[in-house]
Amino acid sequence: MERKKFFSVFGLGMMGILFTRFSSLKLFSKIPNNKKKIKVKINPLAVKRQKIGNKNV
Amino acid sequence: MKASLLDYILRNRLPVTIFVAAASFIITFFASRAERDGVGYTPDQPINYSHRLHAGEMQIDCQYCHVAVEKSRYAMVPAVATCMNCHTIAKKDSPEIIKLTEYYNNGKTLKWKRIHKVPDYAYFNHSVHVNKGIECESCHGEIKQMEKVGQMNSFTMRSCLSCHRNSHERLPYIDDVQRGPEYCYTCHR
Amino acid sequence: MSDHKNDIQNPAPNYWRSFEELYSDQKFLAEKNNEFKEGASDAPNTDKMSPISRRKFLALLGASAAVAGTACSDYQDKGEIVPYNNKPEEITIGKANYYASTCTGCSSACGILIKTREGRPIKIDGNPDHPVSKGKICSQGQASIMGLYDPDRLKSPKRKIGNGLDDADWQEVDKEIVLALSTIGSREIAIITKEIVSPTQNEVLKDFIKEYPATKVYSFEQFNESIRKNAWQKCYGSSDFPFIKWNEAEVVVSLDADFLGTGSHRVENTRLFTERKNIMNKKFNRLYSIESNLSLTGMNSDYRLMLRPDVQYSFVMAVINELQKKNVITNSVNASAFSLSKLAGDFGLSEKILNHLVNDLSKKKGKAIIYAGDHLPENVHIAVNLLNEELGNSELYDTEHSTVNVRNLSSLNEFKNLIDKMKAGNVGVVIHFDTNPVYNLPADFNYAEALQNVDEVVTLTEVENESSGLSNHVLPIHNNFEAWGDSKTRTGFYALQQPVIAPLYSTRQKESILLTWINGDTTSYKETIFHEYLMANWENSIYPTLNSKLAFNPFWYGALHDGVVRSNDISNGIEDFNYSVIMELKNAQVKSDGITIQIKESYSLRDGRFANNGWLQESPHPVSKVTWDNYAAISTTTAKQLSVKNDDVIEITVNNRTLEIPVFVQPGHVDNSITIETGYGRTNSGSVAEGAGFNANTIFFSTGGLTPWVYEGAAIKKLSRTYNLVVAQTIYDFTEKDKKDLPQKRGIIREGTVEQYLNNPHFLNGKEHKVLESVNPPVPYDGVKWGMSIDLNKCLGCSECFIACNVENNIPVVGKEEVDKGREMHWLRIDRYYSGSAEDPKVSLQPMLCQHCDQAPCEVVCPVVATTHSPDGLNQMIYNRCVGTRYCSNNCPYKVRRFNFFNFRDSFNDGYQESPVFALLHNPEVTVRSRGVMEKCTFCVQRIAEARSDATREGRTIKGSDVTTACQDACVTNAINFGDINDANEEFYKYRNHELGYYVLEELNVIPNVTYLAKLRNTHSEEA
C-alpha cells in the first residue's frame, strides 16, 4: 500500500515536472500574433546611397 | 519511542526523500537537455536540401549562399532565387527541385525549420566572428557531412563564454587569437 | 411502551417489529442502547475495492492529459526562418541602407537621409550634402517617421454617407469627382494648398488649370512671413527678404523674433548663429532679445528686455531717435516723438541694458543685425529695415543666394474673396490639397460654414482631420516616405524626394490623384504615374537648364543618389533702399489698457499638423516643460492682478469670440500680455491628438488685430474650473530660501561671462573639491573609453537631441496621466533652470543623460547584478537580468534612470503602440523593453557595436571617431560631442580637457564621463 502510494506520488510528480519542462515556451509566453502583417515592400525605383560624406556605406 | 522514530526517519524517510529528489533532478536534467540547449535537434525541412551534396561534394562555399555572414549580424538563409541560379537548369526534374521551383514561381513562402536560435535578448553578431577567421564548422559542426542539418553545439551562454575564454585551445587554426570579450554589452544590449 | 392506564376501554395495540422485541430478547435489548450497529463505523475494507479511488482517477486523468500534451508538442521547435523568394539587390539583412530625400514637414524642404532596415525606414537624419540643412533637421523631421506607421492613417478612400464616412473604391470616387469637375459650369474650382515648394507639383497644378479653367489655386500657411516680405518689397523693390549671415554678426538684436525656435529657417539660423558661440576659437556674439514671452531665443540671449508686441514699433523708432541724436546714423526719418528713456520708464525697461544696446549698435556698424518677428506689424519691419540699412548692417544680408517662390502664398484678401464666393454658392468644388483649412484658417472667415454651400468638397490627407470631417470625399495620400517629389526653395540648387517603401495601404500620391482627374479616365491610374511625370518634367524643363555633362538617365540616378542637384541660377541681389518708404513711418499710438494676445506656433506641433505624433506631444515645451497641452502664458504680476494661478482656466475674448484655456505663469513674460501656442485642441484628427490642449484658432482672425497674430485690448475673465497642466519637470518655488541658487551651490550649473573667460581661461577651476576615498580599486582603461561632452554655450534647449534619442531607442509614448506621475520614459532630458527674479529670470539649460560614471552608484546596489561596467567605460544595463528593484534609480544622483512601471505600449491609447504597423517603426538593434525593467541612456551601444563590427571587418580596431550617437547626429549646433577619451588626436579630446569643462555633482566622486562646458554669457563685466 505504501509502495503504491509512493510510486503514484512519485509518478505524478515526474509527470508534472516533465510537462512543464517539455512544453514549448510558446504556451507560456506572450508572443504577439503578427498574422495581420503589413506588407512591407521596398520601392524598387529608389536609389540608395553609396557614400555618406567620405565614408562608404 | 524516540529511538524508534529517529530510526524510522533515518532508515526509511531520509533515503527515500534523497532518492526521490536526486532521481527526479537527474532524470529531468538529462531528459530536458534537448529542450534546454537543443543539441541534436535535426528537424525535417520542407525541402530536403543536402549540405553534404552542395557544400561537401560540390564544394560550394558557405558564403555563396549565406551572403550576409561577413557583413552583418545575421548569416542569412539564401533567397530562393539563389537556389534557382543553378536549379532552373540543374536537375530540374527531380521532385525536390520541382517543389522548389513551385515556391519560386508562385511566390510561396519557403518556411525552413529554424535550428540555430539564440534568445532575443542576446544579440549575436556573425560578421565579427567570421572576420576574425573563425570557421563555420567551429560552431555549426561538420555541416559538409550533414544530410540534414542539426544543432551540434549548445548555444547557451556557458558554451559561448567557454570558447571566448579558451579561444586559444578552441580555435588553434587562428594565429595570435585573442580572448573574446566577456563583458555584458557584447551581446546583451 | 407507554402506560395508558386511562385507556381501559381501548387498550393501545402493542406494536412489535420482531420476535426478539416481542419476547424481549436480552441481546436485542442490549443492542438497542447503541445507536449504531457494531462495525458500522469501521474503516472500509479497501482490499475488496478497486485500487483506484475517485481522487486518484482524476489525478491520473490529468496526468495522462499532460503526458499526451507533452508528447504532442515539439518542445525543441524554434519556429521557422523564412528567406526572401527574390531578394532585392540592395538589401543586406542586418545592415542599414540610406536614401537621400526631402522632408515635406514644412516649406523649408530640408534634405534628409532616410535610414532603412530590410526595406523599412526607421530613422530620419539630415542630408549632409544639402547646402541649407547640412546634415541636420528639426525635431518634427526626426519625429515624422512615426507618421508613416501611424495606425490612424486612412487606408482607403471614403465617401460621406449621412453623418459618417463610408469606405469607397478609388475608381468610383475618381468617377464621381471627375463628374463634378467637368460639370462645374460657371462656378469655381478651388484648390487649397500649403506653401508650394515643388516645381513639378506646380506644373501639375498648372496642367490641372489648363484642363479645368475654372480652377484657382489658393496657398495658405497659418504662420508665414508675408508681413516681412511686403515690408521688404516696399523698402527694396522687387527682391525677396534675404537670408542673413548670422555667423558673421557680432551683435544680434531680436525684436520678439524667435528665429532660433520657430519659423521655417530655424535649422539654418541655429547652425549659423551658434558658429559664433565658439569656445575653441573664442568667437562670441551678443544676443539682445526684446520680446514678450520667454522664447527659446530669449532663453539663450545675453541681454533680455520684456516688451509687448504692440510697443515694438515705438521701441525701434526710439532706438533710431537715440542713434540719430548720437550722430551714428543720418537723420533720414523724424523720430523725435519717440524717446527711449520715456519708453524705459513707461514699460520698466533697464536703462543699463538699453545703453549697452545703443552702444553696441553704434560700435558694431556693419557687423550687427536687427531682426523683427514675423508677427509684428509692417511698420516695425520697415523701421527695422531702415535701421539696418543706415547702420550698414545690410552687409550681413546674403546676396549670393535668394529665396525662390515657386508659387506665391495667397493674400488674406484673396481668401476672403473665396469665402464670399463660397457663401454665394459660386464655388462648385473645393479640393483640400493636404491642408486643413477648417482648423487653420482665421476664425472670422467662418470657413466651415461656407463649406456647406459647396457641392463637392474633397480632402486629400493622410490622417482624418477637421476638414475631412466636413468633406464629401476623403482621399488618403502617400506619406512623405512613399512619395516622389522635388523642391526648389532658393537659388543654387534643387532637391529631390524619393520614396523608400512601397505604399503600405491603398493610398495614392496627391499629385497622382490630380493627374488622374486631368486625364479624365479613371482606369488610367498606375502607381508610377507621378514618377513618370516627374522624370518627364525634369528631362524637359529642369535638366536642360543645368548644363550637365551627363546624359539624362545617369544624371537622374546621380541626382536621386545625392538628393541635391546644384543649379546655376544666381541671386538677383538686393536693390537700393527706397527712402520714400519713410512716409509709412508715422507716430503710432500704444493702447495702454487691456491685455495683448499673441498667437504663436507650437514648438513641437507647429501649426497643428503633427498633433497625432505621440513623441512630439510628449516632448516638453523648451521653456515651460509642459507636455500634451497648450496654455495661456502670463507673467507673475499680471497673474496676481487677475488673481489667477497655474491651472486656472480663463476665458479670453477677442473680437467677440472666446477661448477657454488654462493659465501657466511664465517667468520672464511681459506684463499685460498673454501668449498662446496653437496646434492643439484638434478634433477628428487621430486618437493621439484627441483631447490634447485647446484650439486657440478660435481667436485667430484675419482682421481686428494689430496683425493676424497680435490682438490688443483682449478681455480676460477668470472661470471657476481648473485644468491640470502636466509639467515634465518640477518647478522650484522661487521664494523658498534653501532652494534658491541650489543648482549653482551644488555645482550643477556653472557659468561665467565671456569677459571673465577671456581674462582668465581657468576661472572655473577656482573651487577645490575634496576628493573622497573610493571603496573600489581603480580600473585601468587602456583601450577605447567612451565619453561625451556637451557644450552649454551651443545648447539652445531645442530638444532635437531628445527626439532623436526617442526615435533611435524605441522609447514609448506614455500619455498625459503617466507623465503627471513622473513616468515619462525619456532617456535624455533637458533641464531648464531659472536664476534671478521670478519676473525677469536668466535661464540655464542642461541636457541630462546617464553619465556612465566610472564609480557608478547604481552598479553596486543592484541585487541581481543587472547593471555592470564594461571595459570601454559604459555602464551596462542588462534588461533580461533586471527584476525591477529600482534600487539603482534610487542611488543615481542624476536621476537619469527610467523604470517601466507598465508596458506602456499596451496601456497608452488602448494599445496604440502594439498595433502591427507600429512595430515596423522600432529600431531592430535596440531591445523593446517590457514592464518591470529599468532603462537608461546606453551611449548608443548599438552604434558602438556596429562600428566595432565594421572595424573588425576592415581589419582594424574601433576608433572614437567611428561612432556618433543619435543625439550628437541630431544636434544642429553640434553641442554634443562623443568619442574616445584616451585618443589625443580626436576633436573630442579637446572638448573633454577644455578649461571650461566641469562635471555635474563632481564632489560625489562618482567620476562621470559627460563633460559639460560652462556657459559664458556675453555680458559686461560689472554685472554678474
Residue C1's pLDDT band (boundaries 50, 70, 90)? very low
The answer on pLDDT for C1023 being more than 70 is no
Asked whether residue C153 is domain-assigned, the answer is no
Q: Which of B16, B20, B32 sits opposite A22 (nearest CB)?
A: B32
Please compute the mean of the pLDDT values over residues C612-626 and round it to a whole number: 95
Identity of the amino acid at C1: M
Q: How far, rounded to the nearest angstrom, does the alpha carbon of residue C577 sit from its chain's CA centroid?
A: 40
Question: Is residue C186 located within the same domain as residue C292?
Answer: no
Instruction: Please indicate whether, in this complex, the C-beta atoms of B24 and A17 are within 8 angstroms of each other.
Output: yes
Helix (H, G, I), strand (E, B) or coil at B82: helix
What are the chain A neighbours of C98 within 8 Å (beta carbons)? Answer: 48-49, 52, 57
Question: Is residue B70 located within the same domain as residue B16?
Answer: no
For residue C608, the model assigns a pLDDT of: 93
For residue C164, the model assigns a pLDDT of: 86
What's the CATH number where C289 sits?
3.40.228.10
Q: What is the pLDDT of residues B132-158, one digit of tens each?
A: 999 999 999 999 999 999 999 888 898
Helix (H) or strand (E) holding C27: helix C26-32
Instruction: Please indicate whether, in this complex, the C-beta atoms of B35 and C84 are within 8 angstroms of each other.
Output: no
Q: Which residue's entry shows cell 574601433?
A: C958
Helix (H) or strand (E) holding C727: strand C726-727
Asked whether residue C61 is domain-assigned, the answer is no
Question: Is residue B15 located within the same domain as residue B47?
Answer: no
Average pLDDT over chain B reads 89
More confident residue, C763 or C717: C717
Instruction: Please indicate whether, in this complex, the C-beta atoms of A22 and B20 are within 8 angstroms of each other.
Output: no
Question: Is residue C518 located within the same domain as residue C609?
Answer: no
The answer on pLDDT for C925 being more than 60 is yes
Q: Which of residues C88, C122, C148 is at a domain's end? A: C148
Please compute the mean of the pLDDT values over residues C307-336 and round it to a whole number: 91
Instruction: Please indicate whether, in this complex, the C-beta atoms of B31 and A13 are within 8 angstroms of each other.
Output: no
Residues B12 and C738: their CA atoms lie apart, in Å, by 72
All chains having 3 or more CB pairs closer than 8 angstroms to chain B: A, C
State how far residue B62 is from chain A, nearest Cα, in angstroms: 24
Q: How far, rounded to the nearest angstrom, does the alpha carbon of residue C756 sit from its chain's CA centroid?
A: 36
Please compute the mean of the pLDDT values over residues C213-219 and round it to a whole number: 95
DSSP string across C97-128? EEEEEE--SSTT--EEEEEEETTEEEEEEE-T
Identity of the amino acid at C597: I
Please compute the mean of the pLDDT values over residues C207-231 and round it to a whole number: 94
User: To probe the interface with A, which of B8, B13, B16, B28 has the most A CB atoms within 10 Å?
Assistant: B28
Nearest to A43 by CA among C462, C476, C503, C526: C503
Asked whether residue B15 is domain-assigned, the answer is yes
Instruction: Please indicate whether, in this complex, the C-beta atoms of B107 and C95 are within 8 angstroms of each other.
Output: no
More confident residue, C2 or C46: C46
Residues of chain B with pLDDT > 70, as a percent, come to 96
Tell me if C824 sits within 8 A of C818, measured CB to CB: yes
Question: Is residue B7 located within the same domain as residue B73?
Answer: no
* Chain C residue at shortest CA distance from A54: C128
All chains having 3 or more CB pairs closer than 8 angstroms to chain A: B, C
Instruction: Please indicate whether, in this complex, the C-beta atoms of C879 and B188 are within 8 angstroms of each other.
Output: yes
The answer on pLDDT for C80 being more than 60 is yes
Residues B180 and B171: their CA atoms lie apart, in Å, by 11
* Chain B residue at shortest CA distance from C875: B185
Q: How many CB contacts within 8 angstroms connect chain A with chain B? A: 18
The answer on pLDDT for C388 being more than 70 is yes
User: To probe the interface with B, which of A15, A21, A41, A42 has the most B CB atoms within 10 Å?
Assistant: A21
Q: What is the pLDDT of residues C432-468, one digit of tens each?
A: 999 999 999 999 999 999 999 999 999 999 999 999 9
Find residues 54-83 of chain B whose CB sits inside 8 Å of chain C. 67-68, 70-74, 76-82
For residue B37, the model assigns a pLDDT of: 75
* Chain B residue at shortest CA distance from A21: B32
Nearest to C434 by CA among C105, C709, C182: C105
The answer on pLDDT for A3 being more than 60 is yes
More confident residue, C769 or C30: C30
Asked whether residue C495 is domain-assigned, the answer is yes
For residue B30, the model assigns a pLDDT of: 74
Write out the E strands in C133-250. Answer: 158-161, 164-167, 188-193, 215-219
Question: Is residue B124 located within the same domain as residue B146?
Answer: yes
Asked whether residue B10 is domain-assigned, the answer is yes
Domain that holds residue B58: 43-77+112-153
Q: What is the pLDDT of residues C842-879, one digit of tens each?
A: 999 999 999 999 999 999 999 999 999 999 999 999 99
The answer on pLDDT for C712 being more than 60 is yes
Please compute the mean of the pLDDT values over residues C185-212 and round it to a whole number: 96
Find residues 15-44 of chain A whose CB sits inside 8 Å of chain C. 15-16, 18-19, 21-24, 26-27, 32, 34, 36-44
Asked whether residue B73 is domain-assigned, the answer is yes
Number of domains present in the structure of chain B = 2
Helix (H, G, I), strand (E, B) or coil at C511: helix
Residue C1024's pLDDT band (boundaries 50, 70, 90)? very low
The overall longest dimension of chain C from CA atoms, in Å, is 153
* Chain C residue at shortest CA distance from A15: C63
Residue B35's pLDDT band (boundaries 50, 70, 90)? low
The answer on pLDDT for C951 being more than 60 is yes
Average pLDDT over chain C reads 90
Asked whether residue B84 is domain-assigned, the answer is no
Domain that holds residue C525: 158-220+409-546
State how far residue B168 is from chain C, nearest Cα, in angstroms: 19
Q: Which residue's entry shows cell 520715456?
A: C342
Asked whether residue B19 is domain-assigned, the answer is yes
Question: Is residue C419 located within the same domain as residue C487?
Answer: yes
The answer on pLDDT for A30 being more than 50 is no
Instruction: Please indicate whether, in this complex, the C-beta atoms of A18 and B16 are within 8 angstroms of each other.
Output: no
Helix (H, G, I), strand (E, B) or coil at C306: strand
What are the chain B neighbours of A17 within 8 Å (beta carbons)? Answer: 24, 28
Asked whether residue B61 is domain-assigned, the answer is yes
Asked whether residue C921 is domain-assigned, the answer is yes
Number of domains present in the structure of chain C = 5
Question: Is residue C264 located within the same domain as residue C193?
Answer: no
Question: Is residue C351 located within the same domain as residue C389?
Answer: yes
Angle at B176 between CA B174 and CA B182, to 5 degrees: 90
State how far residue B24 is from chain A, nearest Cα, in angstroms: 7
Query: Using beta carbons and an 8 Å cutoff, which residues of C are at the interface with A?
Result: 51, 56, 59-60, 63, 66-67, 69-70, 73-75, 77, 88, 90-91, 97-100, 113, 116, 118-120, 128, 482, 498-502, 504, 528, 531, 557, 560-561, 914, 916-917, 919-920
What's the CATH number where C679 sits?
2.40.40.20
Q: How many CB contacts within 8 angstroms connect chain A with chain C? A: 102
* Chain C residue at shortest CA distance from A21: C75
Question: Is residue C890 located within the same domain as residue C980?
Answer: yes
The DSSP call for residue C769 is P
Question: Is residue C256 located within the same domain as residue C187?
Answer: no
Number of domains present in the structure of chain A = 1
Residues C537 and C543: their CA atoms lie apart, in Å, by 9
Region label for C747, one of left (φ > 0), alpha (ψ between -120 and 50) or beta (otherwise): left
- Let me know how many helices (H) and strands (E) chain A has, helices first: 1, 2
Please compute the mean of the pLDDT values over residues C146-171 and round it to a whole number: 93
- Let me know how many helices (H) and strands (E) chain C has, helices first: 31, 40
Asked whether residue B162 is domain-assigned, the answer is no
For chain B, helix, strand, coil in percent to 5 are 55, 0, 45
Asked whether residue B106 is domain-assigned, the answer is no
User: To probe the interface with B, which of A7, A9, A17, A42 has the most B CB atoms within 10 Å?
Assistant: A17
Write out the E strands in C424-479. Answer: 427-433, 456-461, 473-476
Residues of chain C with pLDDT > 70, as a percent, come to 96
What are the chain C neighbours of A50 within 8 Å (beta carbons)? Answer: 561
User: To probe the interface with B, which of C77, C85, C850, C954 has the most B CB atoms within 10 Å?
Assistant: C85
Question: Is residue B116 located within the same domain as residue B23?
Answer: no
For residue C573, the model assigns a pLDDT of: 82
User: To probe the interface with A, which of C64, C479, C561 has the most A CB atoms within 10 Å?
Assistant: C561
Asked whether residue C557 is domain-assigned, the answer is no
The answer on pLDDT for C62 being more than 90 is no
Please compute the mean of the pLDDT values over residues C93-102 and round it to a whole number: 94
Instruction: Please indicate whether, in this complex, the C-beta atoms of C113 and A49 are within 8 angstroms of each other.
Output: yes
Q: Which of C67, C90, C528 sits opposite A15 (nearest CB)?
A: C67
Identity of the amino acid at C327: N
Q: What is the pLDDT of residues A4-24, one digit of tens each?
A: 888 888 888 888 888 777 765
Residue C17's pLDDT band (boundaries 50, 70, 90)? confident
Instruction: Please indicate whether, in this complex, the C-beta atoms of A43 and C498 are within 8 angstroms of each other.
Output: yes
What are the chain A neighbours of B31 within 8 Å (beta carbons)? Answer: 18, 21
Asked whether residue C26 is domain-assigned, the answer is no
* Chain A residue at shortest CA distance from B38: A22
State how beta strands C595-601 and C710-722 pair.
antiparallel
The answer on pLDDT for C188 being more than 80 is yes
Please compute the mean of the pLDDT values over residues C301-320 and round it to a whole number: 94
Q: Which of A6, A10, A17 sits opposite B28 (nearest CB)?
A: A17
More confident residue, C21 or C978: C978
Domain that holds residue A14: 2-56
